[in-house]
Structure 1
Amino acid sequence: MSIEIIAIGVLLIIFVLGACLPINIGVWGFLAVFIVGSLVSDLSMDEIYGAFPVELFIIIVGITYLFTIIQKSGVVDLIADYGLRSVNGNLGLVPWLMFLLALVLAGVGTYGIAVVSLLAPIALKIAHKNKISPLMMGIMIIMGMQAGSFSPLNVFGVIINGGMQSRDLEYSPALLLINCLIYFGLVAMIVYLMFGGHRYFSNRPATLGITGFPVEAIKPDGNPVIGREGGLDLYKAACLAAIVVLGILTLKFDINIGFAAIIVGSALALLAPRKQEGVLKEMPWGVIFLVTGIVTYVNVMETVGVMTYVTGLISGMDNPLLASLAVSYVGGFVSAFASTTGFLASIIPIATPLLQDPDISSINIISSIAASSSIVDLSPLSSAGALLLANVQGIKERVFFRQLLITTGIFITLGPGLAWLLFVVIGGMF
């Protein structure tokens, strides 16, 4: 058996283990680095160390450090609370409010799981109190969160844009975000209408049933959801301003976004040093470990010639349109049972020959892959779906679990096809 087949087989095993076992797949990634790189391919340790994605590590650590500080300041909670008050009791607007809140919070860099952790208890309590479908409310949160997750400030956006840039592929962070906004907004609209959300516009109760924070809900780890405290103060205002400063440093002065985030985060830390306790502990180190482990293994695969081998396979498909459709469906299927973050980290190197095809836009292809692989995060087997399951009220957990699972199956079946139609077929006409 060739080294290329072995390396690809090991990657598939990693995703299967990640789906079946509660073990970070970054562990399996680093283990595969040693087995395939050292024992099978006989790479030197210097070559293996060189496969570690230093730049991507700095970017993810910097971004998550800054936005953990911002989230810990209470600014995120204030945004959510002000948003809830803005609908003035109009139930028809509440699902869209949840979509927009999730979009904004993820768009400014809040990690997706944190967004769902914040909004799910509120949204599902409102749904229970006012007899709104909890499934619709959960889908609206996930769709908004995923639309914002491809912002240049969020981990998903960082992975996609960094991967495209490192391989000199045509890419546009702004267009990726716009495409995802269109896709997930369209899916949210379809879901809203199918569940009859528009019928609630005539219902304007005095309260949404969200008084008395903290919300009576728990996270999957058993910890209570913490309530909101205080209004806007100088430190919270500085945290909001930090997002603007980050944009100026990266766009105007062309400073690496990871180092820029560390600079801004350090300034906030100096401004309120006593508020920094626990910041590093609350960073999503599991995600950081996962991404670096998978990307390091993918870089080893590239070193031993796997990408050249896959290039030949993809080049053998005469029709790039069908090739892009196939990759989109692979993304939707794999991500439903494994890590979306890990898949996004591995797919760009593998799909590089398709992305380099001059007859089809690389931006449109990567938009289709990104949307297809993230729409399925509603799955109860994923962290986001588990959070919805943990906070649902007024319905038996096994019933809601089945609803989430069926919906995930529908998204796997239709989601990649819709993304491919929107971006590759229709988008390719312009």
Structure 2
Amino acid sequence: MSAELICVIVLGLMFVIGTWRDINMGLLGFIAAAGVGGLVLHQMPEEFLAGFPVDLFLTLVGLTYLFGFAQNNGAIEVIVRWCVKLVGGRIGLMPWIFFALTAVLISLGALFAVAIIAPLALSFARRHGINQFMVGLLVVHGALAGAFSPISVYGIFINDYLTKNGLTPAPLTLFLAPFIFNTVFAVVVWFVLRRRPGLRAEADGAHPHPGSESDGGTTIRLTRSQIPTLIGLIAMALSVIIFSWDVGLVTITISVVLAAIDPAAGKAALSKVSWSIVILICGVLTYIAVLQEAGTVEWVSAGISAIGVPLLAALLLFYMSGLISALASSLAIIGVVIALAVPFLESGDVHVGGFVAALAIAATIVDISPFSTNGAMLLANVHPSIRDRYYRQMIGYAGLMCLIGPGLAWVVAAVPTVISG
């Protein structure tokens, strides 16, 4: 059996075992890198671990550490209340505020923006009798709309990977295509569901509560811990966007300053670091480097090219990405597919920017699935009395996205290719 085929079989086993037994696929990636690299390619540890992405590791740790402060001390809730006051307490606009907040947070590096905003959004919807399924969908689509900004975890991961493989990234296309795509879907969801009563929690009846902070009439007072955190978030955004400083080093530096100001808060925030995501990405990329050394990437790409119709090959990749992503990590499948498609992209048969943007859409538009990270975080915040019905609605919507999402995303890849051709 060839080394290339062994690598593909091991990759498939990683997805199956990781999904079936709920094991972090990054851990499996490290084991696979050692097994394939050491036993099949006869590499030394320093060789099969050479693909460990040190810079991306720092970025992931720094971003999730910094937002751990904001999540723990209520700085995120302060931002929500500011937004409520900004719209003058108009309840009907709040689903879009939650959409925008989730988009902004994830675009700045808050990887678990859905986990931060979902409990606020769903409790608000329960109190005011707003369709909770509609609000939940807007939160997830907001996260997907902002997920691929140049300073987000997703955006940094993809753009850096393309650059390291000699391809020219298109960060603006990668950001705008998913943003527009998900905004359109959110508008459709809002028009279809906004006047429907939706699911009501038995515990509170979802009756509107007059008064309260949601009407924009309360005074917002910042605590001693929230002020430096908010300043830190602003400093992070400005330093990265305006001065192009390394986001990993910037966020770690700001986090250390905040920890020096309040050591107890620093320890609590460190527990919020998304170690599972850090391990997932670093482990998968470490194994991908072994795949490249084994020649598997070129081997698979040759098979894709053999289809003869580049855009048809892209369509098949998008549907594969969407279906697998509905059951596993979007980041993992994006990393694998881009790695396999690198020689395919180098051939010039498809537009690199359009292909990558379309892949980003196809692999994430299904994230409302309760088996995906965002979907699971949303379902976890639904009131127990309606969770079963909410789950069934999520399954239905995820199935619809699996059916039409990759096909619509394919248009994003096809249009620039046809125009440039």
* TM-score, normalised with respect to structure 1: 0.86
Question: Per-residue displacement from partner, 1:103-141 (whole Å, max 9, x unpaired)?
Answer: 1221222123xx222322232233334443322111110
Name 1:161's counterpart in structure 2.
159
Query: Aligned-pair distance for 1:289?
Result: 0.8
Q: Which residue of 2 aligns with 1:217?
A: none
Residue 367 of structure 1 and its aligned partner are, at CA, apart by 0.7
Q: 1:429 & 1:197 partners in 2: Cα distance?
A: 41
2:41 is matched with which residue?
41
CA-CA distance at 1:26 after TM superposition: 1.4
The answer for the alignment partner of 1:323 in structure 2 is: 313
- Distance 1:422-1:356 versus aligned 2 partners, 3 A rule: same
Q: Deviation per CA, 1:363-412, whole angstroms, max 9, x where unpaired?
A: 11111001111111111112322233233248532222111111111001
Distance 1:379 1:273, change over 3 A: same
Given the superposition, is the C-alpha separation of residues 279 and 125 from structure 1 closer, same or farther in structure 2, using an over 3 Å criterion?
closer
The answer (yes or no) to whether the contact 2:129–2:207 under 8 Å persists in 1 is no
- Is the Cα–Cα contact under 8 Å of residues 87 and 93 in structure 1 kept in the other structure? yes
Structure 1 segment 138-157 matched on structure 2, within 5 A: 138-157=136-155
| Unpaired segments ≥5 residues, structure 2 | 199-205
Q: CA 1:37–1:89 in 2, change beyond 3 Å: closer, same or farther?
A: same
Q: Does 1:344 align with 2:334?
A: yes
**Matching residue of 2:402:** 412
| Superposition map of 1:181-200 within 5 A | 181-197=179-195
Aligned to 1:219: none
Give the partner amino acid of 1:136: M
Whether contact under 8 Å (1:125, 1:209) holds in the other structure is no
Is the 2:122–2:382 Cα contact (8 Å) retained in structure 1? yes
- 1:152 and 1:173 in contact (8 A); partners too: yes
Residue 346 of structure 1 deviates from its aligned partner by: 2.1
Equivalent residue, structure 2, for 1:82: 82
Match of 1:125 in 2: 123
1:186 and 1:82 map into 2 onto residues whose CA distance is 26
Query: What amino acid is aligned across from residue 57 of structure 1 in structure 2?
Result: F
**Which contiguous aligned blocks of 4+ residues in structure 1 show a shift greater than 6 angstroms?**
none
RMSD: 2.9
Structure 1 distance, partners of 2:29, 2:393, is 33
**C-alpha separation between the residues in 2 aligned to 1:210 and 1:150?**
38
Question: Cα distance 1:199–1:174, how it changes in 2: closer, same or farther (>3 A)?
Answer: farther
Q: Within the alignment, does 1:257 sit opposite 2:255 as a pair?
A: no
**1:87-115 CA distances to partner (integer Å, 9 max, x unpaired)?**
44534322212211111221222123xx2
% same residue: 32
DSSP-derived class of the 1:126 partner = helix
Correspondence list, 1:267-278, <5 A: 267-278=257-268
* Counterpart-to-counterpart distance in 1, 2:29 and 2:396: 31
For the 8 Å contact 2:302–2:344, the answer to whether it is kept is no
**2 CA distance for matches of 1:337 and 1:206?**
35
Deviations 1:188-216 (A, max 9, x none): 1111122245999xxxx996679489xxx
Cα deviation, residue 360, structure 1: 3.1
Alignment-derived partner of residue 68 in structure 2: 68
Measured at CA, do residues 426 and 197 of structure 1 come closer, stay the same or move farther in structure 2, by a change above 3 Å? Answer: farther
Deviations 1:202-239 (A, max 9, x none): xxx996679489xxxxxxxxxxxxxxx97335753443
Following superposition, the deviation at residue 313 of structure 1 comes to 1.5
Q: Give how far 1:252 is off.
A: 5.8
Q: Which residue of 1 aligns with 2:201?
A: none
Gaps of 5+ in 1: 214-228
**Counterpart Cα distance in 2 of 1:42 and 1:56:** 27
Partners in 2 of 1:27 and 1:360 — Cα distance?
33
| Alignment partner, residue 179 of structure 1 | 177
